[in-house]
Amino acid sequence: MSGTISLAVLGVDWQVLVDAIGLGAVYALMAVGIGLVFGVLRLVNFAYGQLIMAGAYALAFASQWSWPLWAAVPFCFAVVIALSLAMDRAVFRPLRTQSPAVMLVATFAIAFLLQSIALLAFGPLGKPASSLGYLNRPVTIGNVDIRKITIVAIVVAAVCLLAVVLMLERTTVGLHMRAAAMDFRTARLLGVNANRVIGSAVLVSALLAATVAIILTVQNPLVTPDFALRDTIIVLAGVVVGGMNRLLSATLGGFAIGFVTGLLGGALPTADSQYLPSLVFGLVILVLLIRPAGLFAKSGGQVERV
Amino acid sequence: MRSRQAIQLGGPVMLVVVAALLGSVASTSTEGYFVNALISVSIVVALYVFVGNSGVLSFGHISFVAVGAWAAGVLSVPVEEKPAIMPYLFPFLRDHTVGNIPSLLIAAGVGGLYALLVGLPLMRLSGLAAGIATFGVLEITHNILRYYEKIGPGSNTFSSVPETTDLLQAAVGAILVIGVAFGYQSSRFGRLLRATREDPAAARAVGVSVYRQRLVAFTLSGALAGFAGGLYVHLLPLNTEALYLDLTFITLAMLVIGGMTSLWGAVVGALAVSGLDSLLAEAENGLQIGGLSVDLPAGTRIVIVGALMALVLILKPSGLTGGRELSLDRFRRPATKPQGESPS
């Protein structure tokens, strides 16, 4: 009770708060997808947003062909998984021994490549993906209007995060992933199959990308070649700000940047809202300066050398 | 060895001269491609001064190109035309106009100053944190230039800037940038910074301040990028979208494809990718090659350049030139290390 009162005193707008949590939840899912692959490959996948874009196009085409939902959703998953595995095979695998900087530039190139292929194939105007449009309608709780998709996003994110945690903690492949993330060489010496553990990480990150694609197409049904590009840039910043060395800190970073973006977006007066990106990235730089290893990283952890 | 130095500087300069001469005999419609290529050389060499010598990735250099372009552009538009296209300018920007050369120098100064201010805190970072932070700089710069109409045209296109960048000026500018980059990398500062790139721990152990050396290179590189931005805005009407992710991508691609650890690589990469890009741009408009009509759909260019960049990174991460300076030793002693590729 005192919580609600103090929040009311602070003038918190519940609508803004719920939307901010919703955005944070989606970004947290993306952060897990990026963080899982980083854990085993030490590779920051700039092209993660293009996986989501591909999934969104799959949904758009499914709705254009008026496929039922039970066909559209698996189609989306299939497209994202196929693209993700192809990316692993064609790009990540040959680059495995390179420095993180080279890998970042390489995935930057892949991101642009995929985006321009989408531009070439589907045009700049965008395609509507409207199968789940009804989720955009609001429900009223108390005197706050919340879009159904926000609730769905929060619930789905919580379920997915729980599933990932269970996978990491309770299954053999999860154990292998954690071992590989800690020390890949030693893990391999102890019998962890490198291709299998990387393949599973890539697969799980693709599942998350497809899930995010479904949520994002409900919130923003017009699918364009740069779909999810901005979100990916923000999440990458969030993941690095949170701390890439642990999946938990990366996830918290993703959630935090979504939450803060949502809050600032609601708090800024309309005239200044155009400067939201400056504010968010200014904060990102500030946090990186104070804690280069990550906001939620364990202190005393090893700092990356160049 | 003086002759070796002469070749290291002479090679890149010769390439620029050849490109300029080719441009001068080309038809007026294709001349534009050569001017563009020469400006790309300036931007990529500016990027190289920091990224190549320090080994730290920067996604933020197009910010310095952008502030240089904004500075030179705002100060070059004739006073009487300013109210029409930039009604909200600060008075001192509104009431002053400078000539072509001063505007380029101011662009370099503003680019350098901005890089210094940004670098002061940011050069403490390295690795991924540095990459993301420089990306943040790009986002912030783009965001502010786009919406802050007291310092420029905002989201409008920069029209009415005198189009003074011709083939000659672009070539002289590129040679100037190459000369400064070469002077820097042969200097004590350049050598110290490259030492930190090769082995930061060893460099620190002999008393090199990694932070200070990176900051020097970042500032110089920002000044050169600002200068290149000045040249660019005098070439064609720019807007904030032309100075954002696409340009960041294409210039990084040029540097990586050429070989990011040498000046020779930066110039070769810029010219090679520009050449390919121009050819593809022509092909998108419909091109006749020996009776064969090529007509590529719009957008093919970035697909091919992106694929090329990914291929180079996967197959030969050190780039076309292997990241080495031009040297005659290769031709004298081909048996020691065969280099299959011929630059440009």
- DSSP per residue, B21-88: HHHHHS-HHHHHHHHHHHHHHHHHHHHHHHHHHH----S-HHHHHHHHHHHHHHHHS-GGGHHHH-TT
Question: Of A104, A261, A278, A290, which to mutate for an interface test with B (greatest number of B Cβ within 10 Å)?
Answer: A278
Above 90 in pLDDT, residue A106?
A: no
Of A106, A274, A281, nearest to B140 by CB-CB distance is A281
- Measured CA to CA, the distance from residue B149 to residue B86 in angstroms comes to 7
Nearest to B300 among A120, A278, A282 (CB): A120
Task: Give the long-range contacts of residues A93-96, CB within 8 A, separation 24 or more.
Answer: A93/A198, A94/B314, A94/B315, A95/A43, A95/B313, A95/B314, A96/A41
Q: How far apart are CA A146 and CA B140, in angstroms?
A: 31
Q: Helix A14-41 to helix A194-219 angle, to the nearest 10 degrees?
A: 160
Residue A299 — very low, low, confident or very high, per pLDDT cuts 50/70/90?
low
CB contact under 8 A, B143 and A110: no
Across the interface, do B132 and A288 touch by the CB < 8 Å criterion?
A: yes
In a domain, A290, yes or no: no
Find the closest chain B residue to A230 by CA distance. B139
CA distances from A155 to A29, A148, A215, B319 (A): 12, 11, 11, 47
Q: Say if A121 falls within a structural domain.
A: yes
In DSSP terms, which residues pair with A296 in a beta bridge?
none
CB environment A8-39: b (16+ within 10 A), e (fewer)? eeeeeebbbbbbbbbbbbbbbbbbbbbbbbbb
Across the interface, whether the CB atoms of B55 and A101 are under 8 A apart is answered yes
Using a CB-CB distance cutoff of 8 angstroms, which residues of chain B are in contact with residue A104?
A: 57, 128, 131
- How many CB pairs below 8 A link A and B? 130
B252 with A105: Cβ contact below 8 A: yes
Contact B313 A102 (CB under 8 A): yes
CA dihedral B150, B151, B157, B161 (to 10 degrees): 120
- Nearest residue on chain A to B147, alpha-carbon basis: A274
* Residue A111 within a domain: yes
Those residues of chain B that have pLDDT short of 70 are: 1, 286-295, 298, 329-344
Residue B99, CA distances (Å) to B10, B105, B113, B121, B327 in order: 31, 10, 21, 34, 40
Whether residues B132 and A236 touch (CB distance < 8 A) is answered with yes
pLDDT at A5: 42
Q: Is B127 in Cβ contact with A306 (below 8 Å)?
A: yes
Name which of A204-213, A258-267, B66-75 the model is least confident about. Answer: A258-267
Which of A109-123, A169-183, B181-195 ranks highest by mean pLDDT? Answer: B181-195
Tell me the CA distances in angstroms from B336 to A159, B7, B329, B331, B332, one per residue in order. 60, 20, 10, 10, 10
Per-residue model confidence as pLDDT tens digits over B83-104: 888 888 898 888 888 999 999 9
| DSSP designation for A144 | E
Alpha-carbon distance of B285 to A25, in angstroms, equals 45
Note whether B19 and B271 are within 8 A (CB): yes
Nearest to B56 by CA among B183, B194, B263, B233: B194
Q: Which residues contact B156 (CB under 8 A, 6 or more apart)?
A: B85, B239
CA distance B96 to B254: 37
Q: How many residues make up chain A in this entry? A: 306
Contact: A44, B122; criterion CB under 8 Å: no
Distance from CA of B201 to the nearest CA of A (A): 9
Using the beta-carbon criterion (under 8 Å), do A104 and B144 form an inter-chain contact?
Answer: no
Asked whether the beta carbons of residue A95 and residue B252 sit closer than 8 angstroms, the reply is: no
Q: What is the pLDDT of residue B341?
A: 44
User: What is residue B117's DSSP assignment?
Assistant: H
- Residue partners of B82: CB distance under 8 A and separation at least 6: B89, B94, B97
B286 contacts chain A (CB < 8 A): no
For the CA atoms of A261, A267, A271, A275, the dihedral, rounded to the nearest 10 degrees, stands at -30
Could you give the number of structural domains in chain A? Answer: 1
The stretch A271-299 carries a mean pLDDT of: 87
Interface test with A, best of B313, B315, B316, B318 (most A CBs within 10 A): B313
Residue B133 Cα, gap to closest chain A Cα (Å) = 5
Q: Distance between alpha carbon A169 and the CA centroid of its chain, in Å? A: 21
Q: Which of A119, A120, A91 is nearest to A106 (CA)?
A: A91
Q: How far is A172 from chain B (nearest CA, A)?
A: 30
Nearest Cβ partner for A285 among B136, B307, B309 = B136
Chain B residues close to A243, C-beta within 8 Å: none
Specify if A269 maps to a domain: no
Do residue A116 and residue B128 have CB atoms under 8 angstroms apart? no
How near does any CA of chain A get to the CA of B2, in Å? 33
First to last CA, chain A: 49
Q: Does B117 touch chain A (CB under 8 A)?
A: no
Question: Phi and psi dihedrals of A127, rounded to 5?
Answer: -125, 140
Q: Which helix (H) or strand (E) holds B139?
A: helix B127-147
Q: CA of A3, closest CA in chain B: separation in Å?
A: 35
- What is the span of the domain harbouring residue A106? 11-227
A112/B57 CB distance under 8 A: no
Q: Confirm or reject contact between B252 and chain A (CB < 8 A).
A: yes
* Sign of the torsion formed by the C-alpha atoms of A262, A264, A265 and A267: positive
Within a domain: residue A280? no
Residue A266 near residue A258 (C-beta atoms within 8 A): no
CB contact (8 A) between residue B124 and residue A292: yes
